Amino acid sequence: MKLPIAFIEKYEKILGKKEFQEFLASFEEKPVSAYRLNPLKDLSVMANQDAEAIAGSPFGYYGKVAGKSANHVMGLVYSQEPAAQMVGAIADAKPGLKVLDLCAAPGGKSTQLLSSMDNQGLLVSNEISAKRSKILVENIERFGARNVIVLNESVENLAKIFPEFFDLIILDAPCSGEGMFRKDPSAIQYWNEDYPAQCSVLQKEIIDEAMKMLAPSGQLVYSTCTWSREENEDNISYMLEKYPNLSLIPLTHEFGLAEGINMSEVVRCWPHHFRGEGQFIAKLQNKTMVAPHISKHRLKNDKNKGKNANTVSSEQYKLWETFAFENLNIRFERQLLQVFGDYLYLLPAGLPDLGRLKIARNGLHLGTFKKNRFEPSFALGLALKPSEVKNKTEISDEEFVMYVAGKSFKSSSECSGWTQLVIANNGLGFAKLVNGTVKNYFPKGLRFKI
């Protein structure tokens, strides 16, 4: 691999000649592939896998996943590079927390956070790029989570709505991408000697806005996929100097995770030490105690909630309740239901008013109101466990191939109406059984042939 001369000179000076040669040799090795299992799903079908576990990453394994497999389509597995998995592992989100994934696409960090939150608490996943936010929505829906909002906003606008709100913020900052050179050689074309310093300016701007949203006693995880000191340790020093209420949480250096450059509390993933690509991670603690004005802000938003055009009408609620009574073994609180046009969503609890923000996915999409009826969404059929649904239809591998291609097929099931399609005790969305035929409701934009 041909690396820029300035890049070579820079890291030879940082690493020293002997270690630099090991670093340089790593670029000739193949990129490392990996994936994670989804604990929100029934993983019994994966019980006998013999893949090698990734040390330090719960549910992480080395290897590749087939994008057209049933396990991938139903969200049992998520492809994510090993070093990137360290961010979510170090963040260690807990059930019940209010969490922000600030630069979330394509969804690796968000889905990993959701794995440890167990559908409890709130995750706000934000992606400023509208195109990339659509991919983020797709990956989160496949994962089957119920407690996540996907936004498509600038960090400045987020800070206005969520002052001192989040218990945990993950800022995987846009960077010069040096750690991705081996995996994506095209990234080399964008690199020049001044690029890391230019990126650090933008990163500081994002940091300053993110700090406005960090709750008292909250934690912030800062990460990049680059080795540049300007974008990493220098930014941490900037944060510690500008925000005296912050302190570094020392991270352990095992499994090939190295110390930072003159900063032992952080970790670096060097490809000649760690089996994966490049990553920098730091975890900071807000030492500020409770600020009394926060509850006032939340009460203001809670007071206004429900007094808008997104409130579910009596007619709509009756249609939803009819569907839920006939098809589900679970009930959702009415105050958490919200409509956008004809689409019905289940919102996570504890949200402020999001009326001024661009929303890509407002909670769990339950379905769509049609004329005098309610039609369940694909996302709902993925999120619900088979035990939460009254009618289920187990389908074979051959029927899976037909269904994802958009075809209907015959079924021996005696039930009629809406049914959740099931493979190995995991849902593949809802379909309609009519006279022994499974009508196809697999989303047209997701269909493919095997």
Strand 166-172 with 98-101, pairing: parallel
9's tokens: 């000179």
172 is in an annotated binding site: yes
SS3 at position 297: helix
On whether 104 is known to bind a ligand per the annotation, the reply is yes
pTM score? 0.94
What average pLDDT score do residues 224-253 get? 98
Q: Where are the beta strands (DSSP E) in 32-189?
A: 34-37, 60-62, 77-79, 98-101, 122-126, 148-151, 166-172
Q: How far is CA 293 from the centre of its chain?
A: 30
Look at residue 264 and tell me whether its pLDDT is greater than 80. Answer: yes
CA distance 115 to 428: 19
Contact between 223 and 87 (Cβ < 8 Å)? yes
- pLDDT over 90 at 291, yes or no: no
Task: Let me know: does 280 contact 232? Beta carbons within 8 Å.
Answer: yes
Cα(447)–Cα(450) distance, rounded to whole angstroms? 10
In this structure, the strands spanning 392-394 and 426-434 are unpaired
Overall CATH class of domain 5-286: alpha beta
Question: Has residue 298 got a pLDDT over 50?
Answer: no
pLDDT digits (tens, 9 = 90+) for 421-441: 999 999 999 999 999 999 999
| pLDDT above 70: percentage of residues in the chain | 96
367: left (phi over 0), alpha (psi -120 to 50) or beta: left
Say whether 225 is catalytic: yes
Contact present, 283 and 172 (Cβ < 8 Å): no
Q: What confidence tens digit (pLDDT) does each residue in 143-156 have? A: 999 999 999 999 99
Whether the pLDDT of residue 202 is over 50: the answer is yes
Domain-wise residue ranges, the chain: 5-286, 308-383, 385-450
Cβ-proximal residues to 433 (8 Å cutoff; 6+ apart), any chain: 391, 393, 411, 413, 415, 416, 417, 418, 419, 439
- Which residue in 414, 421, 411, 437 sits closest to 389, CA to CA? 421
Distance between CA atoms of residues 51 and 39, nearest Å: 17
385-450, CATH topology level: 2.30.130
406 assigned ligand-binding residue: no
Res 278 pLDDT > 50: yes
Q: What are phi and psi of 148, to 5 degrees?
A: -135, 140
Please report the pLDDT score of residue 309 as a whole number. Answer: 59
Active-site option among 175, 225, 269, 415: 225
**Distance of alpha carbon 358 from alpha carbon 363, whole angstroms:** 13
- Residue 260 known to bind ligand: no
| Helices 195-212 and 233-242, packing angle to 10 deg | 40
Is 302 labelled as part of a ligand binding site?
no
Q: Where are the alpha helices (DSSP H) in 70-107?
A: 70-73, 82-91
Residue 308: both structure tokens together: 């808008």
3-class secondary structure, 174: coil
Q: Count Cβ atoms below 10 Å from residue 96 Cβ, excluding itself.
A: 13
The tokens for 424 are 């190995």
Q: Which residues pair with 125 in a beta bridge?
A: 101, 150
**Distance (Å, whole) CA 411 – CA 175:** 52
